[in-house]
Amino acid sequence: MSFFQKGRPYVIAGPCSAETREQVLETARRLSDGAVHLFRAGVWKPRTRPGSFEGNGAAALEWLTEVKQQFNLPSIIEVAEPEHIELALKHGIDAVWIGARTTVNPFHIQRLADALNGTKLPVLVKNPVNPDVDLWLGAIERFEKAGAVDVGAIHRGFSGYGGENRNQPNWPIPIELKRRRPDLCLICDPSHITGNREKVASMAQKAMDMHFDGLMIETHITPEKAWTDAAQQVTPETLHLILSQLVIKQELGEDTNARVQLEYFRQLMDNLDAEIIDLIAKRLDLSNKIGEIKKDCNMTVYQPNRWREIVETITGRADQQGLSADFIVSIYEKIHHESVRRQLNIMGTTAENQTTH
């Protein structure tokens, strides 16, 4: 069993930053009633701009050793340099996470993966700041290839300008990660997604509904006075309330009647999917015939007026059916693109066969 799969949700909680020995020990004391599996604390802080608190470094590792001795609570810290990993091991830290700003850089990730080689230290990889599932998975694979035994992922949202959250959740990305790697433990970090303590509970519930395995929630004894990320941290008591109110659903519920109904509708849906694919194939056959005519009569493959006409027709039809026009147009853009590709082939003018003289 993975280090990170000892319950659903697997709960990681603790302050954004380890500020003082008292703050760390008091937060840990109030989190040590069994609901939290792993204590988090930032020891080296990746700050966007210089001049703000950058963490207490190695001194704070001693406080985490005390947390384990006093409260039997294992801890996880962020590492961004090979020396951080060395120090974490020296102080008996139980696991490490890779921050979003580090995951973007494969050179850096490779150095960290090499430093972790042979250590058995479990590692959670936060998504990169940009929405790129391959870059995220690539970082995970670098740790696995270097021999890391327990690797998991943390979804903390993606940078954007504006929007209702601090970082956009962009759910299709973690969903795609889980589709490709169902074996990976996937944790959600509602604190860094929302950036707002009032929204942490609903984002945590959403993560549970999206079948995440666990949660990482920033927790502080006096959140409004926190040295970093003050707006998003919750007190240990609020954390317990959030956890107690979570509704944990199973992929397939207990209700057999509901499962039979689900099966029935899924069968109907599968039949419709088969029809949709048959219809697309028929439509593309027509594109081929049209392509031959265009070739024989020297007409352009792409005809802007015809495409405009199609968009108008499908938009009207989408409206009649109460469907979003943007959604339908985005599907048709793909179909039209395939049509154009086939007709360019018929013309013999695909980019691949074009020769310059």
Q: Fill in the amino acid letter for 256.
A: T
Residue 28 CB, shortest distance to Mn ion, in Å, is 17
> Could you give the CA distance from residue 350 to residue 318 in angstroms, rounded to a whole number?
32
Does 84 interact with ligand PEP (rule: CB under 6 A)? no
Nearest residue to Mn ion, using CB? Answer: 16
Which of 24, 301 has the CB closer to ligand PEP?
Answer: 24
- Pick the stretch among 48-56, 93-101, 198-206, 264-272 that binds ligand PEP (CB under 6 A): 93-101
- Pick the stretch among 56-64, 94-102, 318-326, 345-353 that binds ligand PEP (CB under 6 A): 94-102
Q: Residue 295 touches which of ligand PEP, Mn ion, none (CB < 5 to 8 A by kind)?
A: none
Does 52 interact with ligand PEP (rule: CB under 6 A)? no
**What DSSP state is assigned to residue 151?**
E
Which of 46, 106 has the CB closer to Mn ion?
Answer: 46
Residue 197 CB, shortest distance to ligand PEP, in Å, is 14
The H or E element spanning position 335 is: helix 325-347
Does 46 interact with ligand PEP (rule: CB under 6 A)? yes
78 strand-pairing partners: 97
Q: Give the contacts of 48 (CB within 8 A, at least 6 positions apart).
A: none
> Could you give the CA distance from residue 214 to residue 333 in angstroms, rounded to a whole number?
38
Site for Mn ion in 11-40 (CB under 5 A): 16
Q: Which of 9, 14, 55, 99 binds ligand PEP (CB under 6 A)?
A: 99
- Pick the stretch among 10-18, 123-131, 200-208, 342-350 that binds Mn ion (CB under 5 A): 10-18
Tokens of 241: 């309330």
Does 229 interact with Mn ion (rule: CB under 5 A)? yes
Which of 153, 346 has the CB closer to ligand PEP?
Answer: 153
Residue 353 backbone class (left: φ over 0; alpha: ψ -120 to 50; beta: rest): alpha
Q: Give the contacts of 137 (CB within 8 A, at least 6 positions apart).
A: 177, 180, 181
Going residue by residue from 101 to 120, which x/- string records binding to ligand PEP, judged by CB under 6 A?
Answer: x-------------------
Does 193 interact with ligand PEP (rule: CB under 6 A)? no
For residue 306, the number of C-alpha atoms closer than 13 Å in the C-beta half-sphere is 10
Q: Which of 37, 84, 91, 126 binds ligand PEP (CB under 6 A)?
A: 126
Q: Residue 100 touches which of ligand PEP, Mn ion, none (CB < 5 to 8 A by kind)?
A: ligand PEP
Q: Fill in the amino acid letter for 183.
A: D
Q: For 226-259, what is the HEC assignment? A: CCCCCCCCECHHHHHHHHHHCCCCCCCCCCHHHH
Tokens of 140: 């995970």
> Could you give the CA distance from residue 257 to residue 271 in angstroms, rounded to a whole number?
22
- Pick the stretch among 60-68, 81-89, 98-106, 134-142 that binds ligand PEP (CB under 6 A): 98-106
Which of 19, 229 has the CB closer to Mn ion?
Answer: 229
Nearest residue to ligand PEP, using CB? Answer: 99
In order, the DSSP letters of 14-33 are: E-SB---HHHHHHHHHHTTT
Residue 120 CB, shortest distance to Mn ion, in Å, is 27
| Cβ proximity of 127 and 156 under 8 Å | yes
Which of 225, 337 has the CB closer to ligand PEP?
Answer: 225
| Cβ proximity of 17 and 45 under 8 Å | yes
Distance of CA 218 to the CA centre of its chain: 17
Q: Which of 18, 61, 76, 100 binds ligand PEP (CB under 6 A)?
A: 100
96 strand-pairing partners: 77, 123
Q: How far from 63 is each of 11, 55, 67, 102, 265, CA to CA, in Å? A: 20, 13, 6, 25, 55
Residue 156 CB, shortest distance to ligand PEP, in Å, is 4
Q: Which residues bind Mn ion (CB under 5 A)?
A: 16, 229
Binding site for ligand PEP (CB under 6 A): 16, 42, 46, 99-101, 126, 156, 192
